[in-house]
C-alpha cells in the first residue's frame, strides 16, 4: 500500500515562487530608512565688522549617511541655527544627490549674527565659563528617490541639539532626530 505520488514540475509555479521571494526580499531590504546627519566640526572662517554688527563666518562640516538601497536627489535648503531660542544664523545646503548606501561630508558655509548673540550676553558669558553652549539646528530637505522607473518624492525634517565649546568651537555632544515622509503618488 505504499503508493508513490508523482509530483509534476511546473515552470509557472517555480516562476511565481521565485518572483514572490524576490518581491518579499525587496520589500524587507527596500523599506525606506531615515538618513543620518552628524555635525563633525565647526571651523571659524572670519569676523565681519559692519558697525554696529559683528558677524562670524563659519564652515559646518556635516557627515551625511544614506542607508537606503536607492540613490536620492534633493533640492537646496536652508539650515537654521538658534541659540537660547533666538535665530543666530543659517547655512545653505546646495541641491545634490547621494548614491545608495553611501556616506559623504558636506561643507556648509554659515553666517552667525553677533548681534543676536549679544542679546543673550548673560547666558553666553555663563556658557563660556562652563565651556558648553547648546545650539539648535533644523532643516527641511525635499527630493526624490528613483526606484526602477518611478520617482518617489520625500521630505525629511532634521532637528539637532548640539553642545559646543564656545571658545574653540569643538563639538562636544549632539542629538539628531530625523523624520522622513514618502509620497507614493
Instruction: Give the residue extent of every domain in the chain.
Output: 31-183
Q: d(Cα 50, Cα 104) in Å, to the nearest integer?
A: 35
Residue with cell 572662517: 45
Q: Where are the alpha helices (DSSP H) in the chain?
A: 11-30, 114-119, 121-130
Greater pLDDT, 24 or 10: 10
Nearest alpha carbon to residue 63 among 155, 151, 160? 160
Residue carrying C-alpha cell 525606506? 32
Residue that wins the pLDDT comparison between 149 and 166: 166
CA distances from 110 to 79, 90, 164, 170 (A): 9, 5, 16, 16
Quick: pLDDT tens for 83-132.
999 999 999 999 988 898 899 998 999 988 888 888 888 998 999 999 99
Which 3-state string (H, E, C) describes 81-146?
A: EEECCEEEEEEEECCEEECCCEEEEEEEEEEEEHHHHHHCHHHHHHHHHHCCEEEEEEEEEEEEEE
Q: Cα(66)–Cα(101) distance, rounded to whole angstroms?
A: 5
The residue among 40, 42, 154, 137 whose CA lies nearest residue 98 is 154
- How is domain 31-183 classified at the architecture level of CATH? Sandwich (2.60)
pLDDT of residue 2: 62
Amino acid at each position: 500500500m505504499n503508493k508513490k505520488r508523482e509530483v509534476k514540475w511546473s515552470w509557472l509555479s517555480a516562476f511565481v515562487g521565485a518572483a514572490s521571494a524576490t518581491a518579499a526580499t525587496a520589500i524587507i531590504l527596500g523599506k525606506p530608512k531615515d538618513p543620518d546627519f552628524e555635525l563633525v566640526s565647526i571651523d571659524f572662517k572670519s569676523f565681519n565688522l559692519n558697525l554696529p554688527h559683528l558677524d562670524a563666518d563659519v564652515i559646518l562640516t556635516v557627515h551625511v549617511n544614506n542607508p537606503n538601497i536607492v540613490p536620492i536627489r534633493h533640492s537646496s535648503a536652508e539650515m537654521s541655527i538658534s541659540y537660547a531660542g533666538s535665530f543666530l544664523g543659517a547655512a545653505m545646503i546646495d541641491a545634490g544627490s547621494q548614491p545608495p548606501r553611501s556616506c559623504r561630508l558636506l561643507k556648509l558655509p554659515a553666517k552667525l549674527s553677533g548681534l543676536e548673540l549679544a542679546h543673550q550676553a548673560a547666558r553666553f558669558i555663563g556658557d563660556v565659563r562652563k565651556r558648553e553652549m547648546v545650539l539648535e539646528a533644523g532643516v527641511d530637505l525635499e527630493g526624490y528617490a528613483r526606484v526602477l522607473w518611478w520617482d518617489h518624492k520625500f521630505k525629511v525634517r532634521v532637528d539637532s541639539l548640539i553642545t559646543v565649546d564656545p571658545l574653540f568651537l569643538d563639538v562636544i555632544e549632539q542629538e539628531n532626530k530625523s523624520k522622513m515622509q514618502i509620497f507614493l503618488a
